[in-house]
Structure 1
């Protein structure tokens, strides 16, 4: 899905030559509380103990299906197809509940766009909740393309997910950086020959086999880090 509207472009440089690709959960937004509410309703119905926030956070990164299955496995209960559907329906009914932007996200996205970065989202989350969150938190228009887990054949860590994101945005010819909080983001970037920035404020952790190009401790650190990875070429303002 494409994002940025004409109005959102007015103050931005137009001769852009580099791309910043963002993960969603744990990178742009803190959504674990809302996801945990939905899975804990399911677990209580199965007479199982609910997940604590830290437990739920550790299971994120591979999409909602994988999260629900891992949550049930952690409590020693079996997840049926019908229960998985009900979990999805419960969460999708209002994915904005328990979801908030990390500090300085809009201001930093605006700064990156003004500095000539094209912005994209590559997430294993399904499209319906991803779009609802981006719209509901008023950052949808910053992004040229949003490529979600249920619109591609292979999700991160497969490099095909990143390639498809760049293809849909018309960015295959531009240098790009992947920003994410999970090993799947770093692995996808590595397999694509792309630089990566690990989002240290998120849920995940790095793995020895996949080293990020850089680590950021806060969202507002990104402009300087990204500039060091792909320096700007001279450009004129429209």
Structure 2
């Protein structure tokens, strides 16, 4: 019983994360782990906009550089901001207690966020911030209501505002969230921002399982071996049972 209780509380944060944004339709994230350029752009976006608060402490800089085709000298010069060595784990410099004081809770490590949340959830979440003066950071999120983080990608997207539509529910007209539209003052257009978010999602999916492509390639070889072994097994069975039949 004690072990079950410990396991329950260990998994509780994952259940809480998965529960956010119930009822919100998620947009499809068409990421591509074979697109090294997209992964490199995603890593750059993560290190410049997310790594200040969120770490990916189960990855190492040199492994990421190797997998994504980034020369280690460029990784050190452009993507390592904490004085860490290229073989170190990717931990940021924010003290957990200080971060908890600023945001109400310490920002979670994002190494496995794509496996916990799913790529579609992250893609929709990063495109669902909108202005809400009632919130501490002045923004809210359709996918994660009462979100506790600022919209760090706002300089790229511009100021997003929530637009409502009128629907009839039970004979009464009610306003429901319809769309989020940027004011156009960001560095990127809507299409460019969506692509930047998709690149970031691509990187986070890679972070959650760096060997996914290798595992899939090995899977085809294993299945091929099983098929060939099955054929030989059937032929051998026929040979052994030929006299019986």
TM-score of the superposed pair, with normalisation by structure 1 = 0.28
Bigger relative contact order, structure 1 or 2, given CA contacts below 8 A and separation 6+?
1
Higher helix fraction: Structure 1 or Structure 2?
2
**Larger Cα Rg: Structure 1 or Structure 2?**
2
TM-score of the superposed pair, with normalisation by structure 2 = 0.28
